[in-house]
Structure 1
Amino acid sequence: MNKLLLTVIVIGLWGNAAAQDYDPELVNTWGLIAIDRDLLPTAYTEDVSPAITPYLKVNSDLSFEGFGACNSFTGSFSVGVGTGLESIFIPEFSATDNTCDSESQNNYEDAYFWQLNLPVPLLEYEYSITTGSDGEPLLTLGFGSGFYLYFTPTTLNVNEQRLSPIKVYPNPTSDYFVINKALAADSEIKLYSLSGMQRKLTYNPSGQYDISALASGVYFLEITTSKEVFTTKVVKR
């Protein structure tokens, strides 16, 4: 076989592998219903107290966002070269780090986030979308022989309460405040003083904003995202 023909075949095979796609049904908003962790009993979301409504929203570019018990997260899926529709990677994941209202909530959220954010390079997840016993689609996402997350589609309106509740801390503060929610880079963040001063804050992916140069007093923080407008009071000592 001559080198030119061999090159054409290799390029063709690479093109076919790289063209692997994902199941379009994956693009949805999925409510978490249960977690399997190898030898431990299946942990059902409905058994957590106080009640929680964790979800995973997958976008068409395979970026995702979601909520656990009291923390939000963002990240992305990636379909690797040569993998099929059932294989996927999670190269990016980040979450806020608030303490929830109960040990039950904290433990469940920790298990949920751990299975989405294992510190294992190139860990390959498997997923399937089947029909559950109730006739609704069932998304199973996991790895190994016993670590799975189970989701069903939710009618969640992401403009409503299942969005991460935005909180600001410490408040009152002397030098800085932190926004607990992972915001999109195009979010608009402004501070207003009672005297009418307005200051636009530059987006910081860490969520921390320095206000040490501001005079002591009461300010109003306004955060505008593509989904909501949030306003709260910040007290600067």
Structure 2
Amino acid sequence: MKKITKTFIVLLSVFGFLITTHAQESIPKINGGEYIFNAAKTPCLTLEQRENIKDFLKENEAVLKQENKLVFNEENKAGGHVLFDWPIQQATGFNYNETWAISGYVDHNATFPNQLLDYNCGSQTYDTASGYNHQGVDVYLWPFSWKQMDDSQTEIIAASAGQIIGKGDGQFDRSCGFNNNQWNAIYIQHSDGSVAWYGHMKSGSVTTKNIGDLVTTGEVLGTVGSSGNSTGPHLHFEVYTDASYSQLVDPYYGTCNNFNLDSWWLNQKPYSNPNINAALTHSDNPIVFPTCPTAETTYESNDFELGDTVYLTAFLRDQIAGTNLSAQILRPDNSIFYSTSFNTSTTSSSWYYYWSFNSFDVIGEWKWRITYQGQTVTHLFNIQTLSIAENELESVSIYPNPTKDYINISSSNSITKARLVDLQGKIIQTIHNVSEGIQKVSLEAVSNGTYFLTLESNSNQKKTFKIIKE
């Protein structure tokens, strides 16, 4: 999450909390904010680039026709129009609830600037002062867009069967704004003669099939990237009625789309399509947006120890102001550790919330549960006992133990974090010192008793000691 687009982090003041918490946990702050894709309204293609693509495709079709390889020409194309499946899917091996949101539709108002009209008579599109009106559907990755791209988490698939009539790959794919670069893309002609453009793909991901080869509906064409004029990983999906490219198609049916008599989608998604994209747990605060195009560090983890601070997140798509969101943390026996319910205060295409807790009191499998707009997503995570001997951090010792006032640390590694936890799992103190490292932990303000001291190096290696203060 980063790019020339602007990201806003807003701390919320929400009303009507219904909260149940563990007795040791004060009422937690609910943090939240908005993620805005392409705030700069950067065109996906220049006028010159679009015309060059059209010429390129016409030349390819002429060659295929001359070689008698063009499958869907004027003589044998089907009547009516094709129906599209959704062109995005999560790759196998990943488990977000969903990975995308929509930032813009086709602009049906030919005037400019800021003269906007999408198919639903709204303004979820954009134009520019130079005369560009958005000519496709932009589907961006959410959450953690750059990490998703680097991990090839979200794939572009053929929305309808057809023939490859053009492709391009190998272009720079970490664009953060307008640059006149070429995009990586593939172009598919369908049985009715229409042509779909799939743009901004990740370099090296475009299918190895050749121009002239056939693809089936749902076949993987590549991975979402940020090549060409782009402010972050997204798919630009653009459709024309035929190979003349004179008539743009907005596949959505709506009051302000005067071209379509019906939808070109097999199942048209709602204009406002609220969704819980992910409910996750993390070992550190993941809501940090590095400078474009650096990938996010998400700190995703499902395994924690008693006393660990656990960050819990919820990522929403198409949040609607005034609608209810509920969050719960359930213990292994399904008793409620924490519960809250509140009405959202903002309408946004992508919004996040996060909480943090450090007083989990039972070992076992816990549930993090988010409910929004009739959908519930449950994420499982584990709380384990503190480990007395972890072999990850070598050559470290402490003394004296038992002690009265302080613990000295001897280590060949730089110890950058120390955490003292009591037998109930409550954190007594946490010390950070990245620049100089930690050589001593004071216990002067700590009551006599038995504790666990966890030491962590700058490479995230840990070791936990049982200590006694007398």
TM normalised by structure 1 equals 0.42
TM normalised by structure 2 equals 0.25
> Structure 1 or 2: larger helix share?
1
Tell me which structure has the larger Cα radius of gyration: 2
